[in-house]
Structure 1
């Protein structure tokens, strides 16, 4: 062991990592299941360095590389390469990217295995993988989650962050996160988790996600979570969903659970949809033609001139390293010629049943104007042309029109297929949100680039962790790691 390291840190590799941080160097992050880089961006802003990422989707992997490794043209293509975490060993990743030794190259691991990987893994399987890192190969249901554990075991990071959907708290009648806490305890980590809504942390979106934070036990850090910067009373649907998600936390004792800080009425109301996207240039929905949307210099849209730029919009325009440069290149929307009139007539906050009623009314008015009656063949033809075909009793939440005075609902990967879940509040524009507006609502700054065309860009955004939420967590982790480094490493 290095003679300069106090005996409290018995692991030489860990001691050297702490010494490096004590010298003021940025903690190095490995982002597993990185997507386009929402977590990476939040951690970069907090003073971390993104050493590497692993992402199987080709376009998401390229987006990550373009935003975090463009400064190194010689290595850009290596970082942009899609990688399957189940097929690449830690030592191979380090060799490909020139990271150095596995044990000393990474300080923090972040990421969230896709939720399907958690189903019915169970305590016995977690104990098995803790003892045998290759055990993930025998159970394809748990591949991704168990592989994440194998990477933690190999890299021995000082800390880790894991993110997932609230359902992870009650998969198959058990709390999988509590089992993760137990497994990490066997690895020598102190882990805690919380259910946090991003609207309480500066994101204009009511997005509930589970976050687990863990530190090596020999650092002496008890995991904590960020204090709320905003406050609201969540709508009844969110309260009910949270109650369902947390019922097994109480049932199983919840030894690792930490109640999220919700602030109080002295804090500002969350960022609203208008504050987030109200400054974006207007687009009339009926002006858009069908076809693929590609982004580049020829799609540059100058910012809308306004004297009432919100603090949030200004932050998205001016994020250091990701500035908007006077406008955006991906303010593109889907062509939905049937639905413009419906969008315009829907009240803010309305869902699909109301949209269906509006469409039916507009259709009947048009039929009367044309003199078409129910007995005519033209009646059914016009109805099919103007009224969405989905049963409103079966798809109540399929559509939703933003409220300009409220944060928006959760953006999900499904916006890669359609954006009816986020219809613009402005009746004059009569459209769904654009790629850049989706990015704004997810707290991606205007200079962040998404590889591919419109649909893949939407999917990358919906899959991401909001960078501002990640940043709130990263700031807490950075402070804890800096404190541990100064406490455990010798004076300079």
Structure 2
């Protein structure tokens, strides 16, 4: 296959995790067969991130110097200046992302027109990727909806955004499609009926929904379970479509439904993803990033006051741990604050990355020489002590404490603290385990994403969250810090998408129509 031979249509793209991974896939001879033709995203901040990344990818694919891109990352030039220095690349990047945030269902005329143009012009294979927004399917979203007496599931348009996906399948007739969603899609109901079997049937026969003629049918495969009859893949359990990311080299327990659709005239059977030999831990993924201090959210912020507060907390914490555990375990921990830390750090640390070589090659850009999006948020002083306690507890017990483990003097003033409803109100990401699911909730307060180092007393930075989601270090997130967290929490891990891209590339290389 030649470079750019496979056209990629990316819907509901977010900051570009799925597209990033698939477009990075290579053939055995080192070629990159995937070329993103269009990326559709409605959020303005995610769209800006998407366009910046499209710009970088185009520069790289056209073998143009990357110096100006790195100048932008180093803050030497603005984004506008970067784009002005490469007007042709900027034009292509903006065209790829439709010159602005666009929404399927609202901007269909423009989106469908562009897809039609690309499909007519492109002679090679086509791949459609994307995941319709998941709030209506997610377990958390359904819990919120259950508490809303006026909520009617059949009136929630988000339940039916997959039909926009069907419209594009009918329009583009791709060889392959990849559709991603939360695990809650397996059990979501409308009018008392589980939706997932109907979604599968609609994806197998998109023309039956779009009412268009001569629309091909599709076989739907799992990426992790072999079908008993590959020519007519049917699966006994809908959970067979569930991918547990930690089993595929992602340092995070992210469980997502990913469907692989293959046009029925293609006579080949896709393989499944290969399990990784060793699961990647939080410490392996982020330990080489520079240490940071947290800030204060309710008072004037400065390093000396932070160091004094954490020093005072360390004395309290030592007493608490000595009572709760044996003195030897408590005394073995260094709880004193690291001195001289800042809240934002752009300089690389001298720590050696600890992740497996394959991931190191994925994350690290030797030409970057800067750390991006690595800044802490502010926390209440009382929460600094709770964060330190969580991190210290995990070092002793190897797990994050539940609310019942907290000593009374550390209990927050929440009416439901002792009910068990919010047992994970504070949760540390344990160093020698993979992380819990990085969600958009990380943008709220950071309580679920406490750093494992008690000497830093903080939640994870945007870059650390990006590492757990396997975004390369040279991937810049645009927008406010809060919005950057949201983008990362909603994304598909690019390194998982890369593996899916490799699988699709190999499949199309050997497929016959």
C-alpha contact 1:34 1:40 (8 A) present in aligned 2: yes
Give the one of 273, 291, 304 matched to 1:226: 273
2:320 aligned with 1:275, yes or no? Answer: no
Give the one of 259, 268, 275 matched to 1:212: 259
Instruction: Tell me the equivalent position of 1:391.
Output: 417
Give the one of 248, 262, 270 matched to 1:201: 248
Aligned-residue offset at 1:450: 0.7
**Gaps spanning 5+ residues in structure 1: where?**
1-20, 120-136, 230-266, 292-297, 364-385
Aligned length: 378
- CA RMSD, 1 decimal: 3.2
1:311-460 residue pairs with structure 2 within 5 A? 311=356, 314-318=360-364, 325-338=368-381, 339-346=383-390, 347-348=393-394, 349-353=399-403, 357-358=406-407, 360-361=408-409, 391-393=417-419, 394-460=421-487
Change (3 A) 1:118 1:276: closer
Give the one of 477, 480, 485 matched to 2:507: 480
Structure 2: distance between partners of 1:95 and 1:480: 27
Deviations 1:332-358 (A, max 9, x none): 111103211111122123245157x34
Deviations 1:126-185 (A, max 9, x none): xxxxxxxxxxx9983544111111111111111000011111111126553432332233
Aligned-residue offset at 1:483: 1.1
Instruction: Tell me the equivalent position of 1:130.
Output: none
Change (3 A) 1:31 1:171: same
Instruction: Tell me the equivalent position of 1:382.
Output: none
Change (3 A) 1:477 1:212: same
> 174-183 or 161-170, which moves further after superposition?
174-183
TM-score w.r.t. length of structure 2? 0.67
Give the one of 31, 54, 60 matched to 2:10: 31
Change (3 A) 1:273 1:95: closer
2:162 aligned with 1:148, yes or no? Answer: no
Structure 1: distance between partners of 2:430 and 2:40: 36
C-alpha contact 2:293 2:376 (8 A) present in aligned 1: no
C-alpha contact 2:7 2:126 (8 A) present in aligned 1: yes
SS of 1:109's partner is strand
TM-score w.r.t. length of structure 1? 0.70
Change (3 A) 1:307 1:222: closer
**Gaps spanning 5+ residues in structure 2: where?**
26-31, 60-88, 139-153, 206-215, 223-240, 301-342
Structure 2: distance between partners of 1:176 and 1:471: 29
Aligned-residue offset at 1:278: 0.6
Change (3 A) 1:139 1:208: closer
